[in-house]
A and B are shown apart, each in its own frame.
Chain A
Amino acid sequence: MPNTKYKFNPDSLSFDKVRLGIRALLFRFLVYFTGSILVALIYWIIFASFFDSPKEKALKREVEQMTIQYNLIHREMASIENVLDDLQKTDDNLYRTIFEAEPIPSTLREGGTGGVNRYESLEGYTNSRLVIETAKRLDAIRKKVYIQSKSFDDLISLASRKGEMLRSIPAILPISNKDLTRTASGFGRRIHPIYKIIKFHYGMDFTAPAGTDVYATGDGTIVAVNSAQRGLGKHIIIDHGFGYTSTYAHLSNFNDARVGKKVKRGDIIGYVGNTGTSVANHLHYEIKLNGINVDPVNYYFEDLSAAEYVRMIEIASKTGQSFD
């Protein structure tokens, strides 16, 4: 056997055949295996430090592109936010100019809740949270009480009326105003646009382009169709019975409105305009109960949800300028 290897044994001074036991074989195998892994690791380290796998290359490119684009968008966003701040200021200014009022927070104007932190001044104390929570709850209660007291009496009297009465009482918005953005100036003390003094505003103003449809807000009979040069300008008065009359003023035109004509709720009776003492296209809407002007905000219950009603009250209660 030419391939058989021998080992010199210095103890017996003879050559012994090299024979490996299973243990030694196993041990060898383990050594080889570990060695191979170590070697593979070394190869990988060397390879990886010089080359990327195609997959890695793609990923790297992706990360790079994403970073570039991110930085770009981020920069753009920063400048947009600056411009948006300016826009906000312009918007506030316009609002002040046109409505003579402190701007309503946009969250309120366009729906939604939250936004402005009214409780900022209360922050920063040990019990801030408690105080703020309490203040918030108090505010909420106050608001509820206000709304309740405003509408409770009306609700009680309304609840006892039925049928025809419910069809007759003014109960919808006189113009289409789904998102309430057309609500301008409510019932109460307002700055007069010409006199510049605070006068009582007996109705509610809705801003709308000339020609916008004006609806009868309840069934009734037209009792007046006037084209005055001053004051209410072209206006219509509807008698709804049960003590209620409603007035629609500053119209640009009438829609087949004549005294004595019966109208149904929702009928188009005229179109928004700027006639009479008025400084802009708008509808001035008044409701009288037994000859006394009442706040129209409480007479939209067919149109408004409870939440919208609250928002309407808040928008309309802001002191500002009326348009007539």
Chain B
Amino acid sequence: MSRRHKYILDLSDLQYKLVRLPWKIKLLRISLWFAASIIIALFYGTVFEKYFGSPKERILNQQIENMKLQYALLGREMDNSVAALNSYRLSDDRRYRPILNMDSVPDSYRKAGFGGVDRFRDLAGYNNSGILITSRTKIEEIKNMVKVQNESYKTIEEIAVEWKREIDHFPGISPVSVEFRLGDGYKFRAIHPVLGTPRMHNGQDFEVPYGTEVYSTGDGKVVESGWNSGGFGNCVVIDHGYGFQTVYGHLSNIRVPKGMNVKRGDLIGISGSSGLSSGPHLHYQVEKSGQHMNPINFFNNDMSFDEYRDMIQAFESKSKLR
């Protein structure tokens, strides 16, 4: 008999009897105890959660905080991108397009593409929906800005190349060194020096001695090279495109064959007095869309002899490189 056994005094026979519980009652007791324990556990849980929150929740909340930080970092990156894009836009609007004589990209086109927040309806209903939707919207905005800027730059690039090409093709310099005096200009001549009759002078004469180098005044293609029966003698005609043609007459020597592409500053011939000419000079003529223009308007007298020489040398060295 152990100390742990409990007895009960049976009053009917006044005997101490060992307390024995039947298994049914034992089972009942256990389930009661179990039920009670669950209730107590629930009670504990409620109290604990009320004051501390569940550890799992805390971990999840921590994760959300981390995500928020990541989003903030992303946001900063996005802001940087927007700043960069805005600077491109300014360059685009204020620099490149005015120079290239292009209209700026309309705001409606730049802003096109984002119709509203509705696209991200599936992101609604979270505690941090705001962050998610803002970030996604911003990204879409940036993507659109990038797309527009990219397209715009592509157009600008093409036009810029064309712009440069046009500048290079424009007959914009004097065909001979600026050290020489100008002869007769673009005017009606009462007496032609050879024919002796009144005649329109459609070009500009340069008083140059025999053997002076004559340069192409812009990029272009030689469309005529050889004897001109109309009076220009040995003559070169260059088509510069954009409607411009230039004529160099009375040469003693021609250095470029018909069909050759020339650059501004290329040596095309040597001056002389061939054709209808009373003395050595260069006759220079500029035509735009078939109309004679006054060549004097196609070069400035803003260069020194040295500058002209430097310019021709610069063009020459460029030509050798190509």
Contact = CB atoms under 8 A, between A and B. Distances in A.
B256 interface: no
- Specify which of A56, A74, A87 lies most central, judged by the most chain B CB atoms within 10 Å of its CB: A87
- Specify which of A39, A67, A179 lies most central, judged by the most chain B CB atoms within 10 Å of its CB: A39
Nearest to A96: B160
Interface stretch (A132-140, A204-212, A285-293): A204-212
A76 B248 CA distance: 60
A106 B1 contact: no
Given A210-B101, A230-B300, A97 B161 contact: yes
B229 to A, nearest CB: 32
Contact of A91 (B16, B56, B153, B300): B153
B123 A36 contact: no
Contacts of A39: 37, 40-41
Contact of B41 (A44, A195, A209, A281): A44
A81 B81 contact: yes
A181 B311 CA distance: 31
Contacts of B45: 40, 44
Contacts of B128: 62, 66
Contact of A323 (B9, B96, B99): B99
B87 A197 contact: no
Contacts of A179: 90, 94
B139 A281 contact: no
B40 A36 contact: yes
Given A66-B128, A193-B167, A197-B311, A280 B99 contact: yes
B163 interface: yes
Interface residues of B, number: 85
Contacts of A106: 84, 87, 91
B1 A8 contact: yes
A69 B71 CA distance: 10
Contacts of A43: 37-38, 41
B157 interface: yes
Given A179-B90, A181-B91, A197-B307, A5 B8 contact: yes
Interface in B209-249: none
A194 B308 CA distance: 12
B7 to A, nearest CB: 4
A255 interface: no
A281 B99 contact: yes
B6 interface: yes
A65 B303 contact: no
Interface stretch (A47-55, A146-154, A256-264): A47-55
Interface string A271-309: 000100101111000000000000000000000000000
A27 interface: no
Contacts of A214: none
A2 interface: yes
Contacts of A199: 302-303, 307
Contacts of B314: 196-197
Given A87-B149, A91-B88, A280-B163, A70 B6 contact: no
- Specify which of A4, A18, A63, A199 lies most central, judged by the most chain B CB atoms within 10 Å of its CB: A63
B197 interface: no
- Specify which of A48, A199, A230, A274 lies most central, judged by the most chain B CB atoms within 10 Å of its CB: A230
Contacts of B126: 61-62, 65-66
B143 A80 contact: yes
A128 interface: no
A208 B57 contact: no
A83 B81 CA distance: 10
Size category, A interface: 35 or more
A70 B315 CA distance: 56
Given A4-B9, A73-B136, A90 B99 contact: no
A6 B96 CA distance: 107
Interface in B82-129: 84-88, 90-91, 94-101, 104, 123, 126-128
Contact of B7 (A8, A66, A274, A323): A8
Contacts of A182: 94-95, 98
B173 interface: yes
Interface in B243-278: none
A73 B56 contact: no
A305 to B, nearest CB: 19
B18 to A, nearest CB: 9
- Specify which of A3, A81, A194 lies most central, judged by the most chain B CB atoms within 10 Å of its CB: A194
B143 A6 contact: no
Nearest to B167: A279
Given A48-B56, A70-B74, A94 B156 contact: yes
- Specify which of A2, A62, A66 lies most central, judged by the most chain B CB atoms within 10 Å of its CB: A66
16 contacts: A2-B8, A3-B8, A6-B8, A7-B5, A36-B44, A39-B40, A80-B81, A86-B150, A93-B157, A94-B96, A97-B157, A98-B96, A106-B91, A193-B167, A195-B173, A280-B101
Given A7-B3, A15-B7, A70-B70, 11 more contacts: A8-B1, A8-B7, A69-B123, A88-B84, A94-B157, A97-B161, A98-B95, A194-B173, A197-B310, A209-B98, A280-B98
Q: Which 4 A-B pairs have the closest CB atoms?
A: A40-B41, A229-B297, A181-B94, A59-B60
Interface of A: 1-8, 10, 15, 18, 36-37, 39-40, 43-44, 48, 52-53, 55-56, 59-63, 65-67, 69-70, 72-74, 76-77, 80-81, 83-84, 86-88, 90-91, 93-95, 97-98, 106, 109-110, 179, 181-182, 184, 193-197, 199, 207-210, 229-231, 274, 277, 279-282, 323
